[in-house]
Amino acid sequence: MCIRDLVNGVKGFNAVGLPVHLANFAVPAGAGALMTAQLPQADAGNQFNDSYNEPSLYSATTAAEYLAGGGGAVAALNPGVAAPGAGPTFVTGALEAASVLNEWSRRTNAAAGWVTATDWVITFPTKNFYVDNDAGNEFAGRNTGRTNNIAAPGLTAATLAPFSQSFVDTAAATPVRRGQSCDSVSYQLYNREEQRSSALGFSPGGTAQLCYEANVLTFNQGAILNSPIAKSINYPENFTFGWLNVRFIGTNAANRGLPAVGFGITSRDDAGSALLSEAGLYDHSIIRPVAPAP
């Protein structure tokens, strides 16, 4: 977790609204004693690493490991990524997933009693360190403060990997600011009896892609989270619950997957009794790539 996720650098409050207490003091050149971890770069003596931009997932220093099969041996990972720095490479290796799986429920007949809906959230925690190349922007994943920005002619397939498309690339011959960075997925929906949906749809747009660091999927327009960027997986069958497998199939992700985490949240609403209205949240399961990329 990055400090900036827990601290409001402008107002000095943490995520639960309490005043900030951080044992992190520094004296920038030409300034008095300041608690710099809650200050922007300009107010932290123009020292990027003393500002609220760090520490982040870029700061990881331990190589990724995971419990392998066949006796639970610990295997070191080298995800084979042309990485912007060691930190995101390590975290990407630890989180790489070929696909994510979880359950869903969608019951819409209120006259029969309670109704249900499910939203999924799939996030790529290290994505910005690969796809956001903007040298002078302290909030970009790749910038001069981290010394990981890519100079002209800009990002390539090798420096984007395991992702496939740049989000911002100001070093390109024609600067890119597309506002999204899309990776293709495939998916299969099942009900609890292992019956597959035969005519799945992905809307809006029709093309199955996840285009943000934090992505929301809903089922037959359930929309619990009311996300403006939600994609709906639509199915014609009268399925009311089951599970879904989402696979990462982008060109650069084909052999190593993507660094993905997330959860599914399901709500049940009963108009007849508030005591029967509730929600539950479950972390996604993942399937790792068959073998880490060399």
Instruction: Answer yes or no: is pLDDT of 90 > 70.
Output: yes
Instruction: Name the pLDDT band for 18 (thresholds 50, 70, 90).
Output: low
Nearest to 90 by CA among 63, 118, 68, 56: 63
Query: 222-226, long-range: CB within 8 Å, 24+ apart, which pairs?
Result: 222/106, 222/117, 222/118, 222/119, 223/117, 223/119, 224/117, 224/118, 224/119, 224/265, 224/266, 224/267, 224/279, 225/119, 225/121, 225/265
Indicate the residue type of 255: N
Token readout for 206 is 């029709």
| Interatomic CA distance for residues 63 and 86, integer angstroms | 8
Give the pLDDT confidence score for residue 39 in this predicted structure: 79
Whether 260 maps to a domain, the answer reads yes
Distances (CA, A) of 116 to 119, 169, 204, 205: 11, 42, 22, 25
Q: Are 33 and 176 in a shared domain?
A: no
Q: Same domain for 17 and 118? A: no
- The answer to whether residues 129 and 224 belong to one domain is yes
Q: Are residues 40 and 105 in the same domain?
A: no
25, 40, 55 — which closes off a domain? 55
Among 29-38, 133-142, 250-259, the least confident range: 29-38
Beta strands 168-169 and 132-133 are parallel
Q: Do 50 and 111 sit in the same domain of this protein? A: no
Neighbours of 294 (CB within 10 A): 8
The whole domain housing 174 covers 97-294
Average of pLDDT values for 3-11?
43
Same domain? 29 vs 168: no
In the predicted structure, residue 2 carries a pLDDT above the cut 60: no
CB neighbours of 136 closer than 8 A, spacing ≥ 6?
A: 143, 144, 170
The pLDDT, as a whole number, for residue 51 is: 82
| Residues 130 and 227 reside in one and the same domain | yes
Q: Residues 49, 104: one domain?
A: no
Q: Tens of pLDDT along 43-88?
A: 777 888 778 888 888 888 777 776 665 555 445 454 444 344 577 8
**Res 85: pLDDT:** 55
At 28 the pLDDT is 47
Is 80 exceeded by the pLDDT of residue 102? yes
Q: In this structure, are 263 and 193 located in the same domain?
A: yes
pLDDT digits (tens, 9 = 90+) for 181-210: 999 999 999 988 888 987 788 888 778 999
Residue 78 CA to residue 81 CA, distance in Å, equals 8
pLDDT digits (tens, 9 = 90+) for 33-43: 445 556 788 87
Mean pLDDT of the residues in the chain: 80
Secondary structure class of 57 (helix, strand, coil): helix
**pLDDT tens for each residue of 202-251:** 888 778 999 999 999 999 888 899 999 999 998 888 888 999 999 999 87
Query: 221 lies in a domain?
Result: yes
- The predicted pLDDT at position 68 comes to 60
Supply the pLDDT for residue 12: 54
Tokens of 207: 């093309």
Residue type (1 letter), 128: N
